[in-house]
Chains A and B, each alone.
Chain A
Amino acid sequence: MSANSCLVANDWICGEYVRTRGQELTDATVQHLVITASAVAIAVVVAFPLALLARRWRPAAGSLLGLTTVLYTIPSLAMYALLLPFFGLSMAVVVCGLVLYSLTVLVRNMLTGLRSVPADVRDAALGMGYGRGRLLLTVELPLALPAVMAGIRIATVSAVSLTTVGAIVGHGGLGNLIYSGMQSYFKAEVLTASVLCVLLAVTADLLLLGVQRALTPWARKGRTA
């Protein structure tokens, strides 16, 4: 009985809740991860050719950045609501909304990264007989990586936070728990899910930072040990 007291008293922090609803929390976290990861992955795949196109052809850059900025201005609840007629009450609504948001950050950062490659370096590679594809993959992409990774980190952290709003269509990962806790006035459920969500964002950010450092060993050299 006393073990249940924090559930009965509706405390903010409740170990009993975490113990008894472990499965629920795990399922919600997994759904959260799946939604976020698939959205960012799709966005990266879509953003890369768009960034290349924007670099090649100037008019495309302006309209593309303008369009993605307009998309970015639309509030998440409205975005999911607008996508509802296309996908129904499904996970695709949330993933598609997150992809559209991530595109803004990713296209912009990829373009910045690609444009920051020094012309000398490009000329040197061309002079050595590099083809366009090889130039892109082995010279330009690695040099653009810090900007690209910065974009991926921002997009990921935002996506983790915005996934919660997906609760409105029943696919919000931890947001579902926040939503149901809100309706039943269950404090521990709301707080636990919120804290998990922030932890998820911070962990993802640190992981991506680690990936970035591993992929760009040259960036560390010369700086402090």
Chain B
Amino acid sequence: MNALTGAWSWLTTAAHWSGDGGITQRLGEHLYLTALALLAACAIALPLAMWLGHGGGRRVGGALAINISNAGRAVPTFAVLVLLTLTPLARYGELPTLIALVLFSVPPLLTNAYVGIAGTDRDIVQAARGMGMSRWQVLGRVELPLAFPMLMTGVRTAAVQIVATATLAALPGGGGLGRVITAGFANYRTAQVVAGAVLVAVLALAVEGLLALLQRLLDPTRPGRRRAGAAPASGALPPGPHSVPADAAEAPART
């Protein structure tokens, strides 16, 4: 395992972490791009999913939610990144990368959020209406809490997708940890290539793990979170439909 020890010694060399183009700087770029793109994608996809799933056009929404995910899978991320950097947009620094990141993270967000909201048990919605809730109350206090697990699945998928796409952005010269890998390839340094790959893989797994933890902590439908009584019998929300389609949008596009 020559390569692994080489990668380890590369990673433990202090000089590789600091300075211009060091790991710290690349990690910062990666996290900055990821956060910015995720926020932008949420700002676009979530309101749209709420509108489609809550009332708007559920019929249009279903077809859109399925097709947009399939299309996202068929279009190569690498091709879109390169195409965007060849356009005049490339004059604005990281803008092409950012656009590509948002483009590829909207489908999982939209699909999961839509499926979660539209899949709310109609009886529960009817009951909420019967209790005198307004449309907005139904959305905010019934549909969104019940759709929360699906919503978070979408956010997790999108975040992992963004981390992966941001890595690829190094090929056309964008920032981020992918640059460690491409620089290693350019200089025929296998140790650096492997070290960069380990960094990227760890980052992707950490983002996924952190968001999964966040989901567990924030889940409004988690039994025991409403500390009224022992468990679901306390009149909290029923197990709900979120347990059914947990895999509805499984196998997101991978980059």
Kindly state the separation between the CA atoms of A104 and B157 in the bound complex, as whole angstroms: 15
Given A105-B251, A185-B86, does the pair A78, B197 have CB atoms closer than 8 Å?
yes
Nearest B residue to A170 by beta-carbon distance? Answer: B185
- Chain B residues with Cβ below 8 Å from A182 are 82, 85-86, 171-172
Given A77-B200, A78-B181, A84-B193, does the pair A154, B75 have CB atoms closer than 8 Å?
no
Which segment, of B47-55, B122-130, B160-168, faces chain A?
Answer: B160-168
Could you mark each residue 159-190 of chain A with 1 if its beta carbon is under 8 Å from any beta carbon of chain B, else 0? 01110110110000001001101100101001
- Chain A residues with Cβ below 8 Å from B197 are 77-79, 81-82
Nearest A residue to B195 by beta-carbon distance? Answer: A81
CB distance from A4 to the nearest CB of B (A): 20
A interface, by DSSP: helix, strand, loop or mixed?
helix
Which of A158, A160, A191 has most B Cβ within 10 Å? A158
- One of A78, A178, A185, A190 near B196 (C-beta < 8 A): A78
* A75–B250 touching, CB < 8 Å: no
Kindly state the separation between the CA atoms of A165 and B197 in the bound complex, as whole angstroms: 14
Kindly state the separation between the CA atoms of A219 and B80 in the bound complex, as whole angstroms: 37
Interface membership of B3, Cβ < 8 A: yes
Contact-residue size bin, chain A (C-beta under 8 Å from the other chain)? 35 or more
* A194–B76 touching, CB < 8 Å: yes
Interface membership of B208, Cβ < 8 A: yes
Interface membership of B78, Cβ < 8 A: yes
Nearest A residue to B75 by beta-carbon distance? Answer: A198
Nearest A residue to B7 by beta-carbon distance? Answer: A85
Interface membership of B215, Cβ < 8 A: no
- Chain B residues with Cβ below 8 Å from A193 are 79
- Chain A residues with Cβ below 8 Å from B182 are 168
* A85–B3 touching, CB < 8 Å: yes
Given A78-B167, A182-B172, A190-B86, does the pair A161, B74 have CB atoms closer than 8 Å?
yes
* A77–B167 touching, CB < 8 Å: yes
* A75–B204 touching, CB < 8 Å: yes
- Chain B residues with Cβ below 8 Å from A72 are 254
CB distance from B150 to the nearest CB of A (A): 17
CB distance from B11 to the nearest CB of A (A): 14
Kindly state the separation between the CA atoms of A167 and B168 in the bound complex, as whole angstroms: 11
Given A81-B193, A187-B86, does the pair A197, B76 have CB atoms closer than 8 Å?
yes
Interface membership of B170, Cβ < 8 A: yes
- One of A78, A82, A190 near B79 (C-beta < 8 A): A190
- Chain A residues with Cβ below 8 Å from B190 are 84-85
Kindly state the separation between the CA atoms of A214 and B181 in the bound complex, as whole angstroms: 45
* B254–A175 touching, CB < 8 Å: no
* A75–B78 touching, CB < 8 Å: no
CB distance from A197 to the nearest CB of B (A): 5
CB distance from A178 to the nearest CB of B (A): 5
Nearest B residue to A75 by beta-carbon distance? Answer: B164
- Chain B residues with Cβ below 8 Å from A101 are 254
* B181–A81 touching, CB < 8 Å: yes
Interface membership of A125, Cβ < 8 A: no
* A157–B2 touching, CB < 8 Å: no
Interface membership of B253, Cβ < 8 A: yes
Given A84-B190, A108-B250, A198-B74, does the pair A73, B205 have CB atoms closer than 8 Å?
yes
Complex A-B, nearest 10 residue pairs according to Cβ-Cβ distance, in ascending order: A85-B3, A75-B164, A81-B197, A194-B79, A78-B200, A78-B197, A201-B74, A161-B76, A164-B76, A82-B197
10 extra interchain contacts, Cβ-Cβ under 8 A, other than A168-B171, A205-B74?
A74-B201, A77-B197, A82-B194, A85-B3, A158-B253, A161-B73, A165-B76, A178-B82, A194-B79, A198-B74
